[in-house]
Amino acid sequence: MSPDPAIAPTGLTSDEAGRRLTKTGPNTIVDVDVHPLWRALGKLWAPIPWMLEAAILLQLGLGDYLEAGVVAFLLIFNAALGFVQEGRAKATIDALKSRLALVASVRRDGQWKTVPAATLVADDVVKLSLGSVVAADVRLLSGSTLLDQSMLTGESLPIEAEAGKQAYAGALVRRGEAVALVTATGTRTKFGKTAELVRTAKAESSEQKAILRVVRNLAVFNGVVTLALAAYATHLSLHVVDIASLVLVAVLSAIPVALPSMFTLAAAVGARRLALEGVLPTRLSAVDEAASIDVLCSDKTGTLTRNELAVMSVCSMPGFDDDHVVALAGLASSDGGQDPVDGAIRAASAHRPTADAPALVSFTPFDPSAKRAEAMVRVPSGDLMQVMKGAFAVIQGLAVSPATAAPVAASSSPRGSGYWRSPPGLRESCVWLG
């Protein structure tokens, strides 16, 4: 969808934005929070509670009020334990969400304003700046940014986004600034659709399956025993009331009244232990489900790794050693910025100090249009050296490249690489990031 030329330059008016907000709803994910009362009642309406409730009814029918009270206590204890534990997890998640309240810089009535992200609508013109979170699906109109979309894609390596490119809600702007047109909000965004799929996915827990499997086997065995008892009692010509009482007792014995509570108590202890390790189970059954995993398959970077870049190997050109190459690369990297490549190089430089490292004189940040950063450094001899960091194809056009540089860069590019080299007449070096 191409931007409407009548909308893109000035954005919407406040009145038009208000009308669209009323029609399409806020730019938020559907709130699926359930009232605490219904959550509590839900603990009593499931296959496992049904067993205990059936036991209570049978014991009341037999006049065993004390036994019925004990089973009722187990039922309430089981429900309360799960309700409290999941309530604590929900409170923690709500606290985390409250810290993620977003605002957006949007052009309304011809002026830039800062508004809550929930009020964004389609065709709003927004500004994406360093450190901000993309609050809706947008299409860039101008500018260039480096976007971290790992929240949605799981890929740790940010991507360059220029005019005409699509950016999705939840992405973090790591570098640059751009003006963009909102194309989708709320549940219509990629993130919103993903969240909706997660919300609607339902599956019976392995805990419920285990308990029901045990009860089924007991019921089959107990059913055979009950039929045999009824047949024998009839053979002895017992009264019908006595036979009915005997059958009810046999049926009641097939219901393991303490089993659900033991499962819940064990899961609560496991959830407590996991919480101390920094893992937050939102459902008690999740503890048992995680323990039953035999094989975990993942193809997303950052899921099983640290989700950060690091300098894994260094390739020095003639006249340089590895430590000096990393030191020069660190001087040509932004200090304290959000660029993950610069952060990785700075970290490597800090862990590989050199005694005669050059001193930084001036630094020019990375320019997306030029695809390089520059630094002027002073070597121990007092001479100035210009260091440039950027894409190999760009730097290659600014200096005479040694014969070995291009093949090494080509062989390293599938693993992820960066190349640094000085202008003509100065020494050359390269560093690869993995």
CA 344 to CA 346: how far, in whole Å? 6
Q: Are 216 and 176 in contact (CB under 8 A)?
A: no
Encoded tokens for 354: 């050199």
Catalytic residue among 15, 299, 321, 323: 299
Encoded tokens for 219: 């019921």
| Angle of CA points 409, 415, 420, to nearest 5° | 40
Please give the helix or strand (H or E) that residue 180 lies within, else none: strand 172-184
393: region left, alpha or beta (phi > 0 left; psi from -120 to 50 alpha): alpha
Is 299 part of the annotated catalytic residue set?
yes
CA 126 to CA 134: how far, in whole Å? 9
Task: Please spell the DSSP secondary structure of 299-358, one letter per residue.
Answer: --TTTSS-SS----EEEPPTT--HHHHHHHHHHTS-SS-S-HHHHHHHHHHHHS--TT--
Half-sphere exposure (Cβ direction) of 103: Cα atoms closer than 13 Å: 5
- Cα(first)–Cα(last) distance of the chain, in Å? 37
Encoded tokens for 262: 């033991």
Encoded tokens for 227: 């039929």
Buried b (16+ CB within 10 A) or exposed e, 281-294: bebbbbbbeeeeee
Encoded tokens for 308: 């950060």
What amino acid positions are annotated as catalytic residues?
Answer: 299
